[in-house]
Structures are given as structure tokens and as C-alpha cells.
Amino acid sequence: MEPQLAATDYHMQVATAVDERRLWQRHLKMAVFGARDDGGVNRQALSPADVSARIQLIEWATSRGYACATDPVGNLFVRREGRNPSLPAILTGSHLDSQPAGGKFDGVYGVLAGMEVLHALDTVGVATERAIEVVAWTNEEGSRFVPGMAGSSAFAGTLPLEKLLATRDREGILFEDALASVLAATPNVKRRALGFPVGAYLEAHIEQGPVLESTRCGIGVVAGIQGTRWFTVHVKGASAHAGTTPLAMRRDAFKATTSIVTALSSLLADGDDVLRFTVGRVVVEPNSPNTVPGSVQFTIDFRHPDFEILKKLGDRVESTCMEHAGKCDILVNETLNMSPIQFDKTITDIVSAAADELGLARMFLTSGAFHDAKSLSEMCPTGMIFVPCANGISHSPSENADPAGLAAGARVLALAVEQLAQRTTLSSPGRR
């Protein structure tokens, strides 16, 4: 029995025009930029590898006649024109930067799936009312320049441009200087102002968790994103000789850090295993085997889907550090405070309908990871589509996905984006 073709059978043509093989090959090509010996990727924001990935995206875009543009924080846009240029474009995309020991799919999938949407609409010859722009947001990961989602936050106006440009990485390199080298490497890309009206935003991403794979569900309709709070803690003691300094005279910054992290682990313990608490970066100085550490800087990544819990416990982080600092001085700096968000019902309905039209199993889920879609949700109807990744692993060289799964997500994205691009009126954000 032939599957019932959807009412608009050009949808099936568009979905079919998404090319699984091209999508997969482009992932392998992008994985060359920042390739690690262990099969992972180190393509940190505004690095030479990031520049190469940007140049590759621009090449694919210009070979199809799309206009490219970049803004004052390096967000990169690929535009397919619509019939009505006065209507705000539909944006889709994600990020090209990766973790230092990242994988081949986190972020880049959303950019390449967006390019498949443009390609498929061209192949079928579908004109849309609104323009569609594929975007690669700058510095989503936040591992080189803190905080994450920096480019999309600056675009949405929630992170001041001057503050971002003045941010330094751990080598002391200014974001502004690193960006200048990126822009210099792409001189022919049109410059545009920071921020512009957006009709709607839809981002495709690997789930980075085990739910879809374990439930054999190919499409995640993302209902929202849990909240995240980031802190950097500086524990200041005194360097001293490891052999001659009595313990009673020490201001050992590392020993103080162990007490602090133990206390934070108690504060942020959760028998239901919903709360997420990570100390991912620890810098011990002077980092010598026979010198008592005089300084430790460490990071706190705390996440929870419930606003009240995030607030109540997050607000106790600083005092907990102070209470367990011993003879050391403490400086706590909150670098990210992102409340949990719910995505627009308009968007989740369209994504659900697109998955149904393609006969793909789908389920709602909340994202444990943050994404640039959080920034866009402040300014327009926004949503996300997840696809499974192997064993739910991400932020790891063993991150993996399968070609058919990636293509299925891109097909749902194509139908959903096309539908949004045909609508001359779209609700403003916040109408859930």
C-alpha cells in the first residue's frame, strides 16, 4: 500500500531532495578542520580551523549563488532570497566551533542541515515568501571565550558587543583581535550590522544525550532547554616550599579547592539525578610538584530544568565557597545565568506535523545542553529538532551519528522551514 502522499506532494519532493550522501560527506569534509588524531575535532572559536570551516561554508554557498554576510561578532549568514524581501527572514543554523576535544557533529550538523534545506528547495524549484538564512553563530561552546552562545547573544542584544569584544581567552588573546583575523580571512563577505528582525528560528542538532537512541525514536521535538549557571572561582593562597613549610603555616589553594568542591557536591547533590554539576576546568599555579599551590582557578557548570531550584542553589554557590576557603581568599564570578526556556508552540507544532508527514517517529524532550536557539527565543518564535547520536555521547572525540538519522532530521527541518517561510504572518515570541 503506497504511503498516503501528503496534501502538498511537493513537500515529499523537497524531503527527497535532501541528499543523505552529500550531507554525510560534508560532515567528513568539515571534520578535517581541526581534526584530532583520536578522530575528534578541536575547532575552537575564531581559531585557524574555524576560519577554514567558515571559508568552506562560504565556498559551498557562493557556488550555489547564495549571498553571504557577516556581522560585528563574526556570525556568518548564507541567504536564499524570498519573494517578499520586506518580510523578516527565517533563520536556521547552529555553530561551527567545537569543544577542544569535540566531535564531528555538535553544531556543524545544524549548519549543514540548513544548507541541505536551501539545496533541496532549489532542486524542487520552490519559491518562498520569506528569505531563508543559514547561520553559523560565533563561539557557541564558550570553551575558548566565556560565556557560550556569545555570537547569538550579541545578535539578540542580551550580551553587550563591547563586553564580548573585550573578552580574553586563557592565552590572553582578545576576542576582538581573534575576530579581526577571521574577518581578514574572508574579505569578500559582505558586512552587515549586528542584529536584525527575524521571522522565526529553527535549529537542528544532535541530542547529545541517550533518550532518542534508547527509545529508537528518530526525531526529537525539543520542548525547551534547561537552565544553566556558570561560575569561575579563584582560590588565592600562597605559594611555598613543599619540603620546608609546616602544614600549619600553609595557605594551600588546592587543598582549599578540594574542600570547596566537596561542599559544593553536597549542596548540589540530587538523588533523582536531574541536577547537573560539573567542575570541568581546574588551573593550578604554579603547578610544580614541589611548590604548595598559591592559586587555583576552577569553573562551575550547574544546570537544572526548574527555575526555582536553579535560583535557590545557584545563589548559595558563592557563600559555600567562602565558608570552605580556610585561610585562602576567594573570588567568585558568575559568567552565565540562563533561565530554563520553553519553545514556541507554533514551532513545535510545525516540527511535529513535519515529522508526521514524513512518517517519522517523534517525541518531545527537553534539552540538557544549551544552544544558540536559547538566544533567538528572546526575539522570535524559536524551536529545535534533535536527532540521535551514538550512545548519547557528545563533547567527546567518540561522538558519532548515522547518515540516515542526520538526513531524516534535515528532511523534517526542510519541511518545517519551508512552511515558516511561506507564512506572511508569524506570532511574536512568548505566545506559548
- Nearest residue (CB) to ligand HGY, 254 versus 370: 370
In the window 253-292, what residues touch ligand HGY (CB under 6 A)?
none
Rule CB under 6 A: is residue 369 a binding residue for ligand HGY?
A: yes
Pick the binder of ligand HGY from 33, 370, 406, 426 (CB under 6 A). 370
H helices present in 18-95, as ranges = 20-30, 48-62
Q: Grid coordinates standing for 353?
A: 506535523
In the window 148-207, what residues touch ligand HGY (CB under 6 A)?
148
> What are the Cα distances from residue 213, in Å, to 104, 225, 367, 393, 405?
18, 19, 15, 11, 10
What one-character-per-residue DSSP string does 133-145 give? EEEEES--S-SSS
The region of 57-65, 67-75, 140-148, 266-274 touching ligand HGY under the rule CB under 6 A is 140-148
In the window 305-364, what residues touch ligand HGY (CB under 6 A)?
none
- Nearest residue (CB) to ligand HGY, 317 versus 369: 369
Q: Binders of Mn ion: how many residues, by CB under 5 A? A: 2
Largest CA distance in the chain: 84
* Residue 171 near residue 181 (C-beta atoms within 8 A): no
| E-assigned strand segments in 211-370 | 219-225, 227-236, 240-241, 276-278, 282-285, 291-292, 295-304, 329-338, 341-342, 362-367
The region of 74-82, 104-112, 300-308, 312-320 touching Mn ion under the rule CB under 5 A is 104-112
Q: Binders of ligand HGY: how many residues, by CB under 6 A? A: 5
Rule CB under 6 A: is residue 97 a binding residue for ligand HGY?
A: no
Least Å distance, CB 141 to Mn ion, is: 5
Rule CB under 5 A: is residue 106 a binding residue for Mn ion?
A: yes
- Burial class from Cβ neighbours inside 10 Å (0-12, 13-18, 19+) for residue 117 reads buried
Least Å distance, CB 102 to ligand HGY, is: 9
Q: Which of 19, 106, 68 is nearest to 387 (CA)?
A: 106
Tell me the helix, strand and coil percentages in the chain, rounded to 5.
35, 25, 40
Rule CB under 5 A: is residue 71 a binding residue for Mn ion?
A: no
Rule CB under 5 A: is residue 107 a binding residue for Mn ion?
A: yes
Q: Which does 114 bind (CB under 5 to 8 A by kind): ligand HGY, Mn ion, none?
A: none
Report residue 72: phi and psi, to 5°. Answer: -65, -5
Rule CB under 6 A: is residue 141 a binding residue for ligand HGY?
A: yes
- Nearest residue (CB) to Mn ion, 46 versus 296: 46
- Nearest residue (CB) to ligand HGY, 140 versus 357: 140
CA–CA separation, 273 vs 28, rounded Å? Answer: 35
Sign of CA dihedral 103, 333, 305, 279: positive
- Nearest residue (CB) to ligand HGY, 97 versus 116: 97
Q: Which does 252 bind (CB under 5 to 8 A by kind): Mn ion, ligand HGY, none?
A: none
The region of 49-57, 103-111, 286-294, 400-408 touching Mn ion under the rule CB under 5 A is 103-111
Instruction: Write out the residues near Mn ion by the rule CB under 5 A.
Output: 106-107
